[in-house]
């Protein structure tokens, strides 16, 4: 009886070890999208009055949690009954990520004016501020849903051949990290300047370590968000390229002497630009058709 109990404990420990190893692999695979998720949400949660940053971020975080509750059961059902759908969704998600990365690069090279107000200032009424908040929260949750689908599917693809129990454990862990970890870090980032201002106020001396660090934190916030955006864009293209390379024998065996990271970036960017051109063409056709009616 006792030996059976200890054997059961050994089995549980072995399963937990397997889950931990698989979770590390899945986390590594999804790191690129988590980086972009971090950049997107840091940008979405900034630009508000200081007192509204955390409530807005909390609203986005709750929306992200609901997204995961919707996506996870569907992903597990597909894995159990229609596993080929995981690969199809993975590739479609790769096309979206490549498109998003290429679009960001295009907008950086050829910037254009945005019609919507992205920054909240003191001249706006309380009603206008709430409208902008709702729009940004809605936009962030929609973006989070798309990224969450890809995070879950990529995590699922790393354990697709494992038992369903292992899939549920690993993918759920990644989903929790993608929600709690990302939004926790974003909260720290968006409050960086506020903490910097407090450090400046705490210092009674003209020159002090507290004031120096405070000034650094205040000035660093926009640069950190900008850096995250650049890193996130590169990560998107690399993740997309990796999806294409690992799901296509032709691309996988093409240019064998070139480092995989360069090959993945080239394929991700090239395919992203093609998708961007197609989407832009359809947008122009749709716009002309709409104007003619």
Tens of pLDDT, residue by residue over 131-157, are 878 888 887 788 788 778 888 888 888
Q: What is the pLDDT of residue 205?
A: 73
* Domain-wise residue ranges, the chain: 13-292
User: Has residue 215 got a pLDDT over 70?
Assistant: yes
Nearest by Cα to 181 from 12, 10, 5, 27: 27
Nearest by Cα to 247 from 229, 226, 221, 271: 271
Q: What does the block give as tokens for 34?
A: 């988590």
User: Has residue 271 got a pLDDT over 90?
Assistant: yes
Q: What is the pLDDT of residue 279?
A: 94
Q: What is the pLDDT of residue 87?
A: 86
Nearest by Cα to 32 from 199, 194, 232: 232
- CA 158 from centroid of its chain's CA atoms: 18
Give the residue carrying structure tokens 């609901």.
66
Q: What is the pLDDT of residue 93?
A: 85
Query: How many alpha carbons lie under 13 Å from residue 171 in its C-beta half-sphere?
Result: 29
Count CB atoms within 10 A of the CB of residue 198. Answer: 13
Q: Are 190 and 46 within 8 A, CB to CB?
A: yes
Distance from C-alpha of 190 to C-alpha of 276, rounded to nearest angstrom? 31
Q: What is the pLDDT of residue 203?
A: 72
- pLDDT band at residue 252 under the 50/70/90 scheme: confident
pTM: 0.72
Q: What is the pLDDT of residue 6?
A: 37
Q: What is the pLDDT of residue 266?
A: 94
Nearest by Cα to 42 from 289, 293, 222: 222
- pLDDT band at residue 29 under the 50/70/90 scheme: low
Q: Are 163 and 151 within 8 A, CB to CB?
A: no
Condensed to tens digits (0 to 9), the pLDDT of residues 158-198 reads 887 788 888 888 888 888 888 888 888 888 887 787 778 77
When mean pLDDT is compared across 74-83, 107-116, 257-266, the lowest value belongs to: 107-116
Residue 123: Cβ-neighbour burial (10 angstroms; 0-12, 13-18, 19+):
exposed
Sorted by sequence, the CB contacts under 8 Å of residue 293 that are 6+ apart come out as none
Highest-scoring range by mean pLDDT, 33-42, 229-238, 239-248: 239-248
Phi, psi of 84 (to 5 degrees): -65, -25
Q: Are 235 and 98 within 8 A, CB to CB?
A: no
Q: What is the pLDDT of residue 13?
A: 43
* Rg of the chain in Å (alpha carbons): 22
Taking the alpha carbons at both ends of the chain, their separation in whole angstroms is 80
Q: What is the pLDDT of residue 73?
A: 93
- CA 221 from centroid of its chain's CA atoms: 19
Count CB atoms within 10 A of the CB of residue 190. Answer: 25
250 versus 50: which is more confidently predicted? Answer: 250
Give the residue carrying structure tokens 């002090």.
208
Quote the DSSP letter at residue 119: S
Phi, psi of 163 (to 5 degrees): -60, 155
User: Has residue 211 got a pLDDT over 60?
Assistant: yes
Condensed to tens digits (0 to 9), the pLDDT of residues 13-23 reads 444 455 555 55
């Amino acid at each position: 009886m006792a030996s059976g109990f200890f054997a059961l404990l050994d089995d549980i420990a072995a399963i937990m070890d397997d889950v931990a190893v698989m979770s590390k692999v899945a986390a590594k695979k999804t790191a690129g999208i988590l980086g972009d998720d971090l950049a997107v949400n840091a940008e979405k949660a900034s630009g508000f009055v200081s007192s509204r940053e955390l409530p807005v971020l909390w609203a986005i975080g709750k929306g992200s949690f609901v997204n995961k509750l919707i996506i996870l059961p569907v992903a597990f059902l597909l894995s159990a009954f229609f596993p080929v759908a995981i690969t199809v969704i993975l590739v479609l998600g790769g096309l979206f990520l490549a498109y998003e990365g290429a679009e960001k690069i295009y907008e950086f090279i050829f910037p254009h004016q945005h019609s919507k107000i992205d920054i909240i200032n003191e001249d706006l009424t309380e009603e206008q501020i709430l409208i902008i908040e709702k729009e940004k929260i809605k936009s962030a949750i929609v973006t989070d849903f798309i990224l969450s689908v890809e995070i879950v599917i990529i995590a699922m693809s790393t354990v697709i051949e494992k038992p369903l129990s292992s899939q549920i454990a690993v993918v759920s862990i990644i989903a929790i990290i993608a929600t709690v970890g990302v939004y926790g870090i974003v909260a720290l980032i968006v409050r960086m300047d506020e903490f910097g201002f407090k450090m400046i106020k705490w210092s009674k001396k003209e020159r002090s370590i507290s004031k120096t660090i405070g000034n650094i934190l205040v000035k660093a916030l926009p640069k950190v968000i900008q850096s995250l955006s650049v890193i996130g864009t590169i990560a998107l293209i690399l993740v997309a390229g990796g999806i294409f390379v690992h799901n296509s024998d032709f691309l996988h065996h093409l240019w064998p002497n070139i480092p995989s990271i360069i090959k993945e970036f080239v394929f991700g960017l090239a395919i992203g630009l093609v998708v961007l051109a197609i989407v832009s063409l359809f947008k122009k056709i749709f716009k002309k058709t709409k104007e003619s009616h």
